[in-house]
Structure formats: C-alpha cells, structure tokens
Amino acid sequence: MKDQLFVGLMSGTSLDGVDAVLVDLSGAKPRLLANAQVPLDAPLRRELLALNASGADEIDRAAQAGNDLAGRYAEAVAAVLKESGTAAPSLRAIGCHGQTIRHHPERGYTVQIGNAARLAELTGVCVVADFRSRDIAAGGQGAPLAPAFHAAVFADPAEDRAVLNLGGIANLSFLPRQGAATGFDTGPGNCLLDLWAARHLGKACDEGGAWAAAGTALAELLERMLREPYFGLPPPKSTGRDLFNVHWLEGALRGGENPQAVQATLLELTARSVAGALLRHGTGARRVIACGGGVKNTALMQRLVQLCAPAVLETSAGHGIDPQLVEATAFAWLARRALDGQPGNLPAATGARGPRVLGAVYPA
C-alpha cells in the first residue's frame, strides 16, 4: 500500500490557504481518503504578494517565506494523516507545487518557493517539488501542468470535453475524443476579483459574487481590459500575477469609477476571456468541467453557463473530485509520475520540445 499513497499540496495564486489531499493511486482513478486546508496568516499572504515584484532584501525575504510555507505544508500533511488515521511511513511521497512568486518563461525561469528540503525534514516523508523548471528548460512554458492529469481523469472517448480551472488564474484543458489533449492559461480567474474585494469590502473575496452581481459592468472599461495583448496570443501560453496584478488593473481605470461597477466588470472580464478562449480553441467541447475556488462564485458560474452554451457547464464534483481539491490531487499524481520515471508534461499544452519527467526529489 505504501507505493500507492500520496499527499498532494497546493497553495495557488489566490493565496487562500494550503489545500492538502491524501490520495490512493492504486486504481485507474485517484481515490481521495482525506483532505484538509490550512489557512495562510495575513502577514505571510502579504509577503507572498509583495514578493511578486522586486523589493528590498528580497532573497532573504523569499527564503524566510519559503521556510514559513514549509511549516504550513507540514501542518497540512499532519492534518490529512490524522483525519485518515494514516502513519507518515505509509506514504510514498508528498507532491508539493510550492508557491509561485515569479513566472517568466519568456526569460527562461519560474520560481516556486516552499523549501521542499525542510518539508521532508519536518514530515519524514519523501517530497517531490519544483515541477515546472524542467519543462521550461525544454523550451516550454512550465504551465499549465494540470492538463496531463485532467486527460487521465476526466477524458471520455465518447465526448469532446474541456476542464476549466478557476483559480487565481483561469486555465482550460481541452480533451478531444481523438488527438492530443492540450490547454493554456486564459487570463485572470479570481485574482483581480479578490484584489478589488479586499480593497473595497475588506474581505478575502466577494462571496458568491453577490457584490458583483448587484452591480453593472462598465462597457468602456471592459473593452480596455479585453484589449490586453495576452488574450490574443496563440497558445501555448501561461500567465500569472506578474501580468494581472494591481498595476495592470489601475492602468485600465480612469478614476472615479463606482467600485461595485468595477467588480461587475472584473467578473465579466473573467467570464468573457474564458468563453472567448473556449470558442476559439475548444469549439468541439460539449461539456466543460469546472474546478477551483471560483466554482464558489455563483454569479461567475451563472455567467459562464450563458457564455459557454451550447456546451454544458458542470463541476468536477459530478466526476468524483471536489472542485477545491483537483489541483492538489494533480500534484500527488505528478509526484507518482516523477518517481516512476514517467513524463508529467503535455508538450502540446506547454510548448516544450517533448515529454519530460518533472520534479526534484527530496528523499525522506
């Protein structure tokens, strides 16, 4: 059984906490045994956001933040083991994505912090981390990496499908009945919505999208935002807070806009950019399987139902995985691929020169 039990960890662009899953990978599909979420305290969240841009003493600050993250990751591992009554030696490995603080594949690098060596020491379990660097070294974007997992778990030989991850950044995976699976980042998911809600509501997010739903989108602002060159780039492509951040948002504003109307516009931006990408690159998809924290945004999901029609939009819950846990499960799956010497990337999605085994291994 040891060879089949993995913990997957994910702390994504939204910075809402660490998602952890204990997964049995002995069957054709992952079987989730336990899950937990460990919140990130406000000072650590602020530091991680700040590290997305150059600043004073950033090397030391990034190292200290990575150490703090390793502690949060270890807490999450302990929580899922306790919930399931599983002993740490029963695990084959932990798959840890780490926290992205810089993503510049066009410059040949990406940075995810989390001190995987420290995590191995704290848990006594083998850790697989740094999944993106090898793909970038092979000429790829290093992202998105989830399409390979989506293809393994959600593809159906009888139907063209797409998987939509609504994290801080949104991405689509295309799973055709015939041919290679692919995918790319479409643009902002929750990141700008959460940023604006934090500024004007004093909350981590606009719960259910209620504030946005009660507002009216600003047509001229939306048009300026949709002129962002990234949306028109052909895949493969990936993005993050390096582009879609407070400076990008403020650059689109002209001053004096009603805050609620801006929130409504940001919701429409996410929905339009996702639907536009689906129409341009996934026209055969008859079913869109949504996952990620954005699934909780009722207003966003309702708008996507309208814009993605005639494709049916549903969540991954109907396919056996809680929407909030898909990415963490994906990195447990990628950890096994690494230890088994199997490729974890899809060159059609990332643009790498070929399949590559992903991840650096830190033995227990």
Residues 163 and 101 in one domain: no
Q: What is the pLDDT of residue 2?
A: 57
Same-domain pairing of 26 and 99 = yes
Per-residue H/E/C for the chain: CHHHEEEEEECCCCCCCEEEEEEECCCCCCEEEEEEEECCCHHHHHHHHHCCCCCCCHHHHHHHHHHHHHHHHHHHHHHHHHHHCCCHHHCCEEEECCEEEEEEHHHCEEEEECCHHHHHHHHCCCEEECCCHHHHHCCCCCCCCHHHHHHHHHCECCECEEEEEECCEEEEEEECCCCCCEEEEEEECCHHHHHHHHHHHCCCCCHHHHHHHCCCCCHHHHHHHHCCHHHHCCCCCCCCCCCCCHHHHHHHCCCCCCHHHHHHHHHHHHHHHHHHHHHHHCCCCCEEEEECHHHHCHHHHHHHHHHHCCCEEEEHHHHCCCHHHHHHHHHHHHHHHHHCCCCCCCHHHHCCCCCCCCCEEECC
Q: Is there a single domain that holds both residue 334 and residue 310?
A: no
Report pLDDT for 105.
97
d(CA 116, CA 228): 36
CB atoms within 10 A of CB 279: 13
Residue 111 has φ and ψ, to the nearest 5°, of -130, 120
Phi/psi of residue 12, nearest 5 degrees: -95, -170
> What is the rounded CA–CA span in Å between residue 58 and residue 50?
9
Query: Whole-angstrom Cα distance, residue 186 to residue 194?
Result: 17
Closest by CA position to 281, among listed 187, 180, 172, 178? 172
pLDDT in tens, the chain (364 residues): 557 999 999 998 878 899 999 999 999 999 999 999 999 999 999 999 999 999 999 999 999 999 999 999 999 999 999 999 999 999 999 999 999 999 999 999 999 999 999 999 999 999 999 999 999 999 999 999 999 999 999 999 999 999 999 999 999 999 999 999 999 999 999 999 999 999 999 999 999 999 999 999 999 999 999 999 999 999 999 999 999 999 999 999 999 999 999 999 999 999 999 999 999 998 799 999 999 999 999 999 999 999 999 999 999 999 999 999 999 999 999 999 999 999 999 999 999 999 999 999 999 9
Query: How much is the pLDDT for 16?
Result: 82
288: tokens are: 């869109």
Verify that 16 and 68 share a domain, yes or no: yes
Which residues lie closer than 8 Å to 214 by C-beta, 6 or more apart?
Answer: 260
Q: Are residues 173 and 266 in the same domain?
A: yes
> Are 93 and 208 in a shared domain?
no
**37/106 same-domain check:** yes
Contact in structure between 327 and 143 (CB atoms under 8 Å): no
**Same domain flag for 259 and 111:** no
Do residue 155 and residue 118 come from a single domain? no
The Cα 196–Cα 213 span in angstroms is 14
Cα separation of 114 and 97, whole Å? 8
Do 221 and 273 belong together in one domain? Answer: yes
Query: Taking the CB of residue 242, how many other CB atoms lie within 10 A of it?
Result: 15
**Residue 40 sits in the same domain as residue 122:** yes
d(CA 142, CA 59): 22
Domain shared by 304 and 258, yes or no: yes
Host domain of residue 223: 146-319
Phi-psi region of 327 (alpha: psi -120 to 50; beta: other; left: phi over 0): alpha
In the chain, the number of structural domains is: 2
Q: What is the pLDDT of residue 134?
A: 98
CA angle 320/302/191 to nearest 5° reads: 80
pTM comes to: 0.96
Q: What's the CATH number where 113 sits?
A: 3.30.420.40
pLDDT, tens only, 88-129:
999 999 999 999 999 999 999 999 999 999 999 999 999 999
Confidence at residue 14, expressed as pLDDT on a 0 to 100 scale: 78
* CA gyration radius, the chain: 19
